[in-house]
Structure formats: structure tokens, C-alpha cells
Structure 1
Amino acid sequence: MIATRPKPGPRAPAGSAPQGADRTVAPRGAGSHGVVRVRATWLPPIVLALLVTTATAGCGLTAEIDREHDPERTSAPVPGPSATGADTPDPPRVEVPVPAITDPAVRVQQAHGCPASGLRLGTGPGDAAMGLRGMTLVLTNCGKRPYTVDGHPALAGVLDPQGATITGVRCVTGTDKVFMAPKDPGPHRFTLRPGESATAVLHWRMAAEEGAYLRVAPQKGQDVVTLRLPDPLDIGPDNILGTTAWAPQS
């Protein structure tokens, strides 16, 4: 066996510690008991360069991952707090006023109490089938004297929501001119005592234009009043409005 001597490596500069060796550092003013032992480690330059690059590029890593998952940026951004730290409030809702169905300038029958005539007109339930329309008209004796009824309501016209007469609507006595309307039983004489009521039924065919008011008198020759209808009549622009005779309310 031939023994070989290891080749000597590069000599370290004077005053420097060999690689992997411990360096002893004595703090200023420290005695033999204040010695701190530090282990020095040498890193290749390429490792240091990679560490610096990773540290400076870390802030863009998340954005790069997002670009890989969503290259077209189709997903909506996640809302976050505002610059002041508070959530941005929703814009205030604007309430748009809805125009009234009827014109308040149209003079109608008084809403409460008893008219000077002692008679109050009103409307009742409606009906609709196969294009035929029906609406109940009610006459009430709200006065202090008996009232004799003998005939039909006196229809004077239908007004649109602005209060203008729908000129194409023709008002007739009876129901024979309204297609498919029930037969009018005809008038008969009776008396309404105070507090009692009578009813008649109006009939017309379905149409497109709405009527918001009805002009009517209790009987022919009496004062005409204007009623604001709770439900508009789909009666214009051309139509026939017929009515049955008054009958005691059952």
C-alpha cells in the first residue's frame, strides 16, 4: 500500500476564517466570559441572486396566477372597501310619482253625506264573460222622504281619465242593442223608503279605450251627476252602453 498526501487546497487570505469554521467575536469591553461564537456560512453568488429575484417578484405572483386562470379577465372584480375604509353606500332610490288615473278637476258627486236631492248613486260588483261586460248601478234614498221609481237610469255619457267625453260611446235604454247582453226585464213602479236602494245593470262589449267617469241621472228629467268609477270601463272609442230598468235591491 502506498500512502499519498492530500493536496493542499487554496490558502485563505490572511486574517480570514476558513470556510465552515467558527469565528469568535469578542464584544468591545467584554472579558473572557463575554465571547460570542458565530458560525459563518458562505453562499454562492447565484443563490443570492435567486433569493433577491424571488423577493422582489413575489408581489406580482398572485397577479400572474390570476392571469393564468382567467386570461380574458371575464370574472367580475371582488368589491372591497373604499379608500376611507368604509363600504360605498348604495345610491339613493328615486321614487317616481304615479300619475292619477282620474283628473281631480272633474266635478263628481260628493264623497260623503247625502246630496241635496236626497238620492245617492254608486256602483256595485262587475262581471265579464266572452267579451261582454256588466256593472251594477245602485240608487239609494238617503233623504227623509219616500222616492218613487218607475223606469231606467238616464245615461248621459262616459268620460275619459282627463274628463273629456268619449264621443263614440252611444248610451241606450234597455239591453237589446248590446250583443249577447241579458234581456231587460222592463220597468215597474215601486217606492224607495229612506235608507232603501234599487239596482240596475249596465252592459257593453269589451273595447280598448278606458272610461273613468259615468254621467247619469236617477231617471229621465232629473239632475245628471258624475260618478268616478272605481274600475275603468274598457268601452271606447266606439261602443254601445245599455242598461236594465231599476229594480228593488234584494
Structure 2
Amino acid sequence: MIAIRQKPTRGAVLACVLALTASGCGLSTELDRELNPERTPTPTETRAAPPPVSATSPPVQQASGCPSSGLRFATGPVNGAMGLRAMTLSMTNCGDQPYEVNGYPSVSVLDEAGDPIPGVRTIEGTEGVPMASEDTGPEPFTLAPGETAEAGLVWRMAAEEGTYLNVAPDKDRDAVNVRPEWPLDIGPENILGTHPWAPAPKSAS
């Protein structure tokens, strides 16, 4: 009898991305394993605060309050295993009107000066990112005021790091710059895969 491989559901894919993001296998652990395979003890370091924004830095999303678009973006921590990186991008409707969502986020990676990193290509889906979970495609939904949507970002580790993400709900809407607190080790000629937007899991009451 030939076994039939079932295609994972969209919810299962999002759960997989979120599980990787929330797992104990964090970016720092993965980097330690890749850079120090013999587990030589190293001094414990306190994570430094993000550097101050200089006069030459690109404009970023306002630090607090609700932007005029009625949407506020945020990023989760970067986590990884065997060179695969995953990050959750969230979009909260902080306005007073429902917001229709259908598709993939529009994302590009910028350097410290706010310029796109040459050769980094963003794709809809994850087919170009080895070991990434399968993308099952977008489904439309309505984001009510106060609700949050999430999308997964995945890439393979590279030597160079991006500084900002230029993000928008989709390619037809205005984008803003967001500076993640965690490093984006994606360099030239790399691919950034995206999972489609989906409603964020409801927190247990």
C-alpha cells in the first residue's frame, strides 16, 4: 500500500513557525553551537541595549501610540536550528475600523543606513528556503480593532546582518521601517521567505 502524504494545514504551519520562535533553541544558542562546537566555556555577557538612533538613521515607526495608518507592526525574537532562522512579524489593528487582510506581508531588509541589502530577495512562500516549513497559502480574514495578525519570516543564516525591516500589510500599501531588537543575520544573495498573514492565536483567559 502506498502511503499518501497529507499537506499540512495552514494552522499547523503557523503553529510550527510559532513553535520554532517560542522554543528554547534560540538564536544565541544556535550561534554558540555553530561558532563553538567544542563547547569551550565562555564568560557570561549581559545583552547590550539597542544602539541609539543617530541623525543619519532612517525614520522608523513611532515608538508609542497608534500610527495614522491604524496599524502597528512588531517583531518577535529570532530563533534557529541548523542554520534556519525564524521570526514572527505581527500587525495589530490599533485603529477604530475593521481591516481586511488577505495575502503575504511586504518585507525588505535594510542596512544601518536604511538602504536595501544588495541581493536579498523576498518571496511569497518558503519554497526557496531549505528546511523551512511548507507554505499552505493565504486565506482572507477581517482584523477587528484591537486584534493582531501574525506572519512568519524565515531565512538561512549568513555572515552579514540587516538592521531594519521595511514592512507593509501587502505590496500595494504604505510601508514603515521597524528595527528588531534581535540580529537579522541575512546577507547578500540570500532569500527571505514569508508565510501569509493569519489571525494571532487567542491568549488563554
> How high is the TM-score relative to the length of structure 1?
0.58
> How far off its partner does 1:209 sit?
0.5
CA shift at 1:161, angstroms? Answer: 2.0
**What is the Cα deviation at residue 165 of structure 1?**
1.8
Q: Does residue 243 of structure 1 match 2:194?
A: yes
* Equivalences, count: 152
**Are residues 244 and 199 of structure 1, via their aligned partners in 2, closer, same or farther at CA, if it must alter by over 3 Å?**
same
Contact 2:77 / 2:181 at 8 angstroms: preserved in 1?
no
Q: Is the 8 A contact 2:119 2:189 kept in 1?
A: yes
1:158·1:212 contact (CA, 8 Å) conserved in 2? yes
Aligned partners of 2:61, 2:79: CA distance in 1, in Å? Answer: 24
Kept in 2, the 8 Å contact 1:124–1:137? The answer is: yes
Question: Quick one: distance in 2 between partners of 1:120 and 1:209?
Answer: 27
Q: Give the structure with the higher percent strand.
A: 1
Q: Is contact 1:102-1:212 (8 Å) kept?
A: no
Is residue 179 from structure 1 mapped to residue 130 from structure 2 by the alignment?
yes
Distance 1:153 1:109 in 2: 16
The 2-side partners of 1:194 and 1:221 are apart by: 21
Match of 1:234 among 185, 189, 192: 185
**Offset, 1:101:** 7.2
CA contact (8 A) 2:109 2:117 kept: yes
Classify 1:133/1:193 alpha carbon distance in 2 versus 1 (closer, same or farther; 3 Å): same
Structure 1 segments of 4+ aligned residues over 4 angstroms from their partners? 101-104
The alpha-carbon deviation at position 160 of structure 1 amounts to 1.4
Counterpart pick for 1:191 among 136, 142, 148: 142
Deviations 1:115-166 (A, max 9, x none): 11101111123320010000000010000001111111012x2111232321
Q: Percent identity?
A: 58
Give the gaps of 5 or more residues in structure 1.
1-97
Deviations 1:75-104 (A, max 9, x none): xxxxxxxxxxxxxxxxxxxxxxx9937655
Q: Within 5 A, what are the aligned runs for 1:1-250?
A: 100=51, 103-104=54-55, 105-155=57-107, 157-250=108-201
Instruction: Pick closer, same or farther for the CA change 1:99–1:182 going to 2, 3 Å.
Output: closer
Inter-partner Cα distance in structure 2 for 1:102 and 1:168? 26
Cα RMSD (Å): 1.8
- Aligned with 2:185: secondary structure? strand
Distance change >3 Å, CA 103–CA 131, structure 1 → 2: farther
| Greater RCO (CA < 8 Å, at least 6 residues apart) | 2
**Greater Cα radius of gyration, structure 1 or 2:** 1
The equivalent of 1:9 in structure 2 is none
- Is there any run of 5+ residues in structure 2 with no aligned partner, and where? 1-48
Q: How far 1:232 moved relative to its partner?
A: 1.7
If the length of structure 2 is used for normalisation, what is the TM-score?
Answer: 0.70
Alpha-carbon deviation of 1:186? 1.0
